Every structure is written in structure tokens, then in C-alpha cells.
Amino acid sequence: MAIHLRSAEELQKMHRSGLVVHEVLTALRAAVEPGITTMDLEKLAEEKIAGRPGKAAFKGYKGYPCVLCTSVNSEIVHGIPSPKRKLREGEVVSIDFGIELDGYYADSAVTVPVGKISPELQKLLDVTRESLDRAIDKMRPGNRLGDVGYAVQSWVEQHGYSVVREFVGHGIGTKMHDEPNLPNYGEAGRGARLQEGMVIAVEPMVNAGGPEVRMRGEWVAETADGSPSAHFEHTVAITADGPWILTRPKRDDWTVLVE
């Protein structure tokens, strides 16, 4: 199946949806503190969405029950908010959120420290976030999907961490998950060529220990060895002027963690 190429108008629409995602994630990030539950974050997200255009993309998707995914510590992705899961000082939580607005989707995630975290955990967050920046820097016309995957994998493995294989980045547009799949590993120079107008959600998932995944129930993916995991995601358009991060307010602003 062909990869969709989006027009300038379509990219503007996706940016509108990306701005809502960014706004909600910014509010959630600020709300993370010891004692708050992952369900409190879900409720806050619902309140935020209520005043804004667009519809939460995850709730109801293949039966997923919430607007957010909140994955704590060794949970990699698709952690389900719960009133019983109180966040504690020293933990990390990945908050993943998507919006559909005017028919177009945007998807983004950030891993946030709860209070003060250990230098080891901070390093995992920093390396994962930088792997996303490095991936985005490869998202230019003429490069290949393998260049992007290689950028993530080489950076991550150089630091002694591992990339998850079971979950991948994805094309995004009028559907949340579209062609192509974008693994967080690969060989430079291999795979489909990136073209102007493609939009891909790139989302490195990095484990401090081994790459193996264990499922807890239908949704929650966690590290098999119990090691902590981090996850950052942006929806990125490939343009003649370089990568355009649609889930950021400013086109040339690559900072993921800090406003």
C-alpha cells in the first residue's frame, strides 16, 4: 500500500490537531507530582479536551478504555490509568495522548519524572529523548526509513540500553495508524524513501535493561526483566524545508521536555 503524501492544507490541519495534543500534554506534565494517581491525569486530560476542539483518539480505539496511556517505570506503553496507581517520588511516567480534529490525527508522548529521580533514570530519559531528536533530524526527503531507525538504535545501544521491537512508530493522517511502520531499529540506507508530504509518528521506546517485552493483560506492555523504560513521541511531517514537528507550537523548536 502506498504511503500518503499530504498537501500543505492537510499539514496545517494536522498541526492544529498537534497543537491541541501539545497543550494537553503540557498541562499533564506540569500536574505530575508525588501522590497524584494516573486516573487523576486521565481526568485532567478529559477536562482539558472538553474546552478544546477535537476528540480524544485513543478512547474506544480497539476497545481501549481511556483518553491517555500512562505507563509507569517498567511499563513500556499502553499503561491504563487507574485510581489505585498513585505516583511516587522517584518514578517515571510516560504520558501518551492523541487527538482527531477535523478528520486528522496527531499523536505524542513524553516521559515525565515524578519529583526527584535518580541520575540513572534521568540518563535513560535524556538518552531516549535525544534518540527522538536524532530520529527527527533524519526525517528529510531522500533519506530512508532505515536511516531513522538506525539513528535511534545506534544512539540507544551506544549507551547500553535497548530498543523495543514489538512496537513501532507509524504513518499518521486520516487514521491514527497508517503506512508505513517505523521500527526504532534498522540499517542506514535501507527501507522506503522518505518523501515530502509524508507524516510519521516517531516513538522510540527504550529499556534500561533487555529489549524483551511481557504483556500484562490485553494492553499493558512492560519490560520482561522489570527494568525501567522510557518513551517519547512526536508526529513529524517531512517537508522540503526539513522535518516539521506537528506536535510542537513552533516549527523549529525541538525541545521535548522543556517549554
Cα dihedral sign for 44, 36, 216, 185?
positive
Residue whose CB is less far from Co ion, 117 or 156: 156
Residues 35-64 that bind ligand MF3 (CB under 6 A): 58, 61-62, 64
For ligand MF3, the closer of residues 116 and 214 by Cβ is 214
Q: How far is the CB of 240 from Co ion (least distance, A)?
A: 25
Q: At what angle do helices 145-158 and 119-137 cross, to 10 degrees?
A: 160
Query: Minimum distance between the CB of residue 205 and ligand MF3, rounded to whole angstroms?
Result: 10
**Toward ligand MF3, which CB reaches closer, 36 or 220?**
220
Terminus-to-terminus CA distance in the chain, angstroms?
38
Name which of residues 188 to 227 contact Co ion (CB under 5 A): 201
Amino acid at position 110, single letter: V
Matching residue, cell 513501532: 168
Please report whether residue 236 would count as binding Co ion according to CB under 5 A.
Answer: no
| Cell digits of residue 110 | 513524553
User: From Co ion, ligand MF3, none, which one binds at residue 61 (CB under 5 to 8 Å depending on kind)?
Assistant: ligand MF3
Cell digits of residue 76: 513500556
66: left (phi over 0), alpha (psi -120 to 50) or beta: beta
Instruction: Identify which of residues 143 and 235 has a Cβ nearer to ligand MF3 in the complex.
Output: 235
In the complex, the residues that contact Co ion under the rule CB under 5 A are 107, 201
